[in-house]
Homo-oligomer: A and B are copies of this chain.
Amino acid sequence: MWQLYQFPLCPFSRKVRLLLGEKGVGYELVREHPWERRDEFLDMNPAGQTPVVVDTQRGGQPLIDSLAICEYFEETVDKAAMINGTAANRAEVRRLVAWFDNHFYRDVTGLLLHERVVKRVAHRAAPDAKGLRDAMKNAVGHLDYTDYLLDHRNWLAGATMSLADFAAAAQISVADYLGGIDWKGHEQTARWYRGLKSRPSFRPLLAERMEMVGPPPAHYDNVDF
């Protein structure tokens, strides 16, 4: 049995979960709050970050780093190839995964998680209004970019759904939960996101709540928002 160490608003774990869902790989969730820096978790992953995937039956080294985990399942499970197409297509998928994992996270999701989750839970401090405003402003620029891509393509990396879509939807869904996305004026991205939200792989994620932060906006888990 695969175990996935994660917390409900970890965007990198969400990317892995969307991929595993599409591939039909079953797994058990283990709740981990990386900001607590639990000794047993750091022994498993010196980077101290979620997600980590462990095979409880066969043992072996844990799978660490969300992209390395996705590449592992892409190589070992044929169903639903998500880093697909020619070498150039695959490079474009990986470019966009890196874009959302690094830049969207740095500019939007990471800021929101810091202000609204880590500060509250680990430091019992109020969020900084400027940090929240910066994240929302940055999100507009990022959705302008996804609008631009979706003007030219059916899916973010090209003609077919790929890991790039999961990386983007994972980040956007966490930002949306935390009130960081203003959907007005982003019809292309909203249409694409509605399509992803209605997939069986996405529904369990949207149903989860992170009890230590407030509830998400009303539109958050509505497929027809």
State the A residues within 8 Å of B (CB).
Answer: 46-47, 60-61, 63-65, 67-69, 71-72, 75-76, 87-88, 90-92, 94-95, 98-99, 102-103, 145
Contacts and interface: CB of A to CB of B under 8 A. Distances in A.
A153 to B, nearest CB: 12
15 contacts: A47-B99, A47-B102, A61-B91, A63-B95, A64-B95, A65-B95, A65-B98, A65-B99, A67-B67, A67-B94, A68-B91, A68-B95, A68-B98, A72-B87, A75-B90
Given A68-B94, A68-B98, A60 B75 contact: no
B90 A71 contact: yes
A191 B60 CA distance: 28
Most chain B CB within a 10 A radius of its CB, from A60, A65, A67, A102: A65
A17 B147 CA distance: 34
B88 A47 contact: no
Copies, count: 2
Contacts of A67: 67, 94, 98
A-B pairs, top 3 by smallest CB distance, nearest first, are A68-B94, A65-B98, A72-B91
Nearest to A48: B103
Given A47-B98, A72-B90, 13 more contacts: A46-B145, A47-B99, A60-B88, A61-B91, A63-B91, A63-B95, A64-B91, A64-B95, A65-B94, A65-B98, A65-B99, A68-B91, A68-B95
A23 to B, nearest CB: 14
A91 B71 contact: yes
Contacts of A47: 98-99, 102-103
A102 B64 CA distance: 13
Residue from A64, A69, A90, A91 whose CB has the most chain B CB atoms within 10 Å = A91
Contacts of A87: 72, 75-76
A177 to B, nearest CB: 24
